[in-house]
Chain A
Amino acid sequence: MIVVGVDIGNSTTEACVASVVEGRVEYAGTALTRTTGVKGTPDNTEGAVSAVRRALNGRTPDLVLLNEATPVISGLAMETISETIITESTMIGHNPATPGGSGIGVGTTVSIDALASATGPTIAVVPAGWDFDDVAHEITSSGADVVAAVLAHDDAVLVCNRLRTPIPVVDEVGAVEKVPLGMLAAVEVAPPGRTIRTLSDSYGLASVFGLDPDQTRQVSPVARALTGNRSAVVVRTPSGDVTDRRIPVGTLTLTGAGKTQRVDVDAGAEEIMATLARVQPLDDATGEPGTHVGGMLAQVRDTMTDVTGQPAAEIRIRDVLAVDTVVPNEVRGGLAGEVALENAVALAAMVRTSRSRMQVVADQVAEALGCRAEIGGIEGEMAVRGALTTPGTAIPIAVLDLGGGSTDAALLTSEGSSAVHVARAGELVTKLIDSELALDDREQAEAVKRYPLAKVESFFHVRHEDGTVQFFAEPLPSHVFARVVTMTPEGPAPVQTRHTVDHVRRVRREAKRKVFAVNALRALRQVAPQGSLRLLDFVVLLGGSALDFEIPELIADALAPHGVVCGIGNVHGTEGPRNAVASGLVDAWVSR
């Protein structure tokens, strides 16, 4: 008879056709389609029927086996937990690309149209609207002792080239009208490829401005903030400084194992995950109203209510995953659009319900196809069975199903099986990449996640992220010239960033590691005998993300110290990491 196993996942529905004759199974075909509706609801029927029809390719089915899919709703929120504030416009640290001159100039800030009456060492402050030729002329002919300059326009090199002797010049200061005038200030510019030494050093600042120990301590955050810059301006204001403020973003309440614990979201991911570990297995999580996290947690609950009809009060958040990240944000009080990397916490949450409406799906599928349909079994167990068809595997075996809605771990030993689900990872990685590179473009962030990087060095060659060079017979399109690109199947796609390939690569791998590797270990620990990873022998990776070009290796690396054999599943030796559950369903039924 013809038996079809159907795995309804969060994103994809997979079908596997087998012909069963006297207990012998011959696999005949597979198909994949997008899941219709939320997994575990009657809306799935359409996708299931479509996948089955495609896999059958004309044959008539006798029995369809569906997995016990329960709806999973995932949510993702990000909270920025720090902010940088400059007070009294006391420093300028935006590090423009083309400052002028080099060295340090200390003097009194004077507007360029008042230079003629300036006395002593002077720093010329030039507003918008002044032409660079006129600026140079004014500085040269005013008779003032101009030791440095601060400009609104991108004219530092131009002005410097027109002076008799070069002076340090910082330009592209958008809000130059806020630079305090008539105050002692210092401008420092380092030669190309180098960084400033004086204004980024607390004692340097003390020397320049004649500060006492208390004042030095007060001004040291400024020095810290300017470290690594090629240019900087510091104005000695009465009490100006730069502070790094923590932003309170409410608390997260985690309940589980009979306890309730509260943790401040702005304490960071490590603190949140440590708190979570103390209440494992998680019973529920809530956030504070009015915060992003609180709103997200409330929303996933509401969505689940809409989908299942279960009252909100009965819905439980079963897992959260917090990850530390950075978000480039404009500094408050900055004069030149300075951007600082602020700390942020990204939180993914997952809510499940035990209420399954799969029987309705089974009935509808049976009607549509004109055959019997049964609920075959629990995903985790089925996944393991399917994974066992990978050559080289044996019981005891653990699987990590890196799917669209959640990461599932399951263990099959000679005594039986157990399974666990943790929050979704793929979307979180994309979000981290998007925010840390300030791409503000999900499409590009997705591409960075999925495909290796390269730098287009000429129209005929790119240098891949591994350093190798690839030549092209036809010239590359003009919009990728000189850009960092992702090598997509459709060709190189530009990444809108000024960062180097190395930097983008680092961000990508870190994001995947922070999410997938950490999450994998978390899940496996929950199914491992006695919670010890060392007691797992074989781990098989399944699901869409197992096809990613580096996630499997990152997970394998994380597991290696525990002596675990980890690799990508190859269901039936032909399907790769896909179709495990669908095949597992058939398998399980046959062996009944």
Chain B
Amino acid sequence: MTAPAAERSLTLEEVGQAQRGSRPDEVVIAVSPAFADPFTKTIVEVPHAEVIRQILAGIEEQGVHARMIKVWDTADLAAVAHIGARLSGSGISVGLLSRGTTMIHQRDLPRLSNLELFPQSPLLDAEVFRLIGSNAAQYAKGESPAPVPTRNDQMARPRWQAKAALLHLKEYECIVAGRRPVEVEPVISRLS
């Protein structure tokens, strides 16, 4: 009954320096320096292609536009997301780190605050990413969606704390200090 999950790849093609958007019905997806290259999946091996595909689907289903940027000079999730929010025409952004940690941000909020935060990257799967995209789009439209339900796992720490630290360090290495954010076109190709 269920079609086998397709394998897809994600390439982020640079379009130019990221500009502030003017259309009020857009959500900016802001990703960290190592996203899609060199990393290709989250800490629990959800492919980045699927992550972006689901977030875009959530936004598209709500009838809202999406624009993607890559942030180069920081790997701090709040900073990445807030940069996206300030460039977004609606003021709403979805920020992502390569390992999957995600947040929905808004341009008038303090940098260390957020609209919704998903701090336990091991607990995020395709379904949750779709809901995140959908909620971001609803915020952009001025609606008030119920926050995406978050799961909690006490044993997440023993299992994932060190791998998360390692992934974070690797991401940090990809930082290019001083480089401005770049607008990118997500190209998702099917491999199977």
Binding site for B on A (CB under 8 A): 97-98, 113, 127-134, 154-158, 161, 457-460, 475, 478, 481-484, 496, 498
Give the A-B contact count at a CB cut-off of 8 A: 59
- The answer to the question of B165 belonging to the interface, with a C-beta cut-off of 8 Å to chain A, is no
Q: Is the CB of B60 within 8 A of A475?
A: no
The CB with the most chain A CB atoms within 10 A, among B3, B5, B114, B143, is that of B3
Pairs across A and B, CB under 8 Å, 21 listed: A97-B62, A98-B61, A98-B63, A128-B2, A129-B2, A130-B3, A131-B3, A131-B5, A154-B61, A154-B130, A155-B61, A157-B61, A157-B62, A161-B60, A457-B142, A458-B108, A460-B108, A475-B110, A478-B106, A481-B115, A484-B144
Residue of B nearest to A480 (CB): B144
How many B residues are at the interface, by size bracket?
20 to 34
Give the docked Cα–Cα distance between A457 and B142 (Å).
7
- The answer to the question of B191 belonging to the interface, with a C-beta cut-off of 8 Å to chain A, is no
A158 proximity list for chain B (CB < 8 A)? 57, 60-61
Which of B62, B114, B144 meets A483, CB within 8 Å? B144
| Besides the known contacts A154-B61, A156-B61, A482-B143, 6 further A-B residue pairs in the complex with CB atoms under 8 A apart | A130-B3, A131-B3, A134-B3, A155-B57, A475-B110, A478-B106
Residue of A nearest to B143 (CB): A482
Q: Is the interface of B mostly helix, strand, loop or mixed?
A: loop
Minimum C-beta distance from A219 to chain B (A): 32
Q: Is the CB of A478 within 8 A of B115?
A: yes
Give the docked Cα–Cα distance between A117 and B139 (Å).
43
Give the docked Cα–Cα distance between A97 and B134 (Å).
11
Residue of B nearest to A481 (CB): B115
Contacting residues of chain B (53-80) with chain A, CB-CB under 8 angstroms: 57, 60-63
Residue of B nearest to A171 (CB): B61
B2 proximity list for chain A (CB < 8 A)? 128-130
Q: Is the interface of A mostly helix, strand, loop or mixed?
A: loop
Q: Is the CB of A131 within 8 A of B109?
A: no
B139 proximity list for chain A (CB < 8 A)? 481-482
Which of B6, B62, B144 meets A131, CB within 8 Å? B6
Q: Is the CB of B142 within 8 A of A482?
A: yes
Residue of A nearest to B3 (CB): A134
Give the docked Cα–Cα distance between A216 and B116 (Å).
50
Q: Is the CB of A482 within 8 A of B109?
A: no
Which 8 residue pairs spanning A and B have beta carbons closest together?
A129-B2, A459-B108, A482-B144, A483-B144, A157-B61, A134-B3, A478-B113, A98-B61
- The answer to the question of B155 belonging to the interface, with a C-beta cut-off of 8 Å to chain A, is no
Minimum C-beta distance from A465 to chain B (A): 16
The CB with the most chain A CB atoms within 10 A, among B60, B62, B143, is that of B60
- The answer to the question of B146 belonging to the interface, with a C-beta cut-off of 8 Å to chain A, is yes
Give the docked Cα–Cα distance between A158 and B53 (Å).
11
Residue of B nearest to A130 (CB): B3
Minimum C-beta distance from A367 to chain B (A): 55
Contacting residues of chain B (17-64) with chain A, CB-CB under 8 angstroms: 57, 60-63
- The answer to the question of B1 belonging to the interface, with a C-beta cut-off of 8 Å to chain A, is yes
Give the docked Cα–Cα distance between A132 and B130 (Å).
12
Residue of B nearest to A498 (CB): B144
Minimum C-beta distance from A135 to chain B (A): 9
Q: Is the CB of B114 within 8 A of A478?
A: yes
Binary interface profile of B, 118-161, with partner A (CB < 8 Å = 1, else 0)?
A: 00000000000010001000010011101000000000000000
B115 proximity list for chain A (CB < 8 A)? 478, 481
Minimum C-beta distance from A292 to chain B (A): 29
Minimum C-beta distance from A458 to chain B (A): 7
A127 proximity list for chain B (CB < 8 A)? 1
Residue of A nearest to B127 (CB): A153
Minimum C-beta distance from A418 to chain B (A): 51
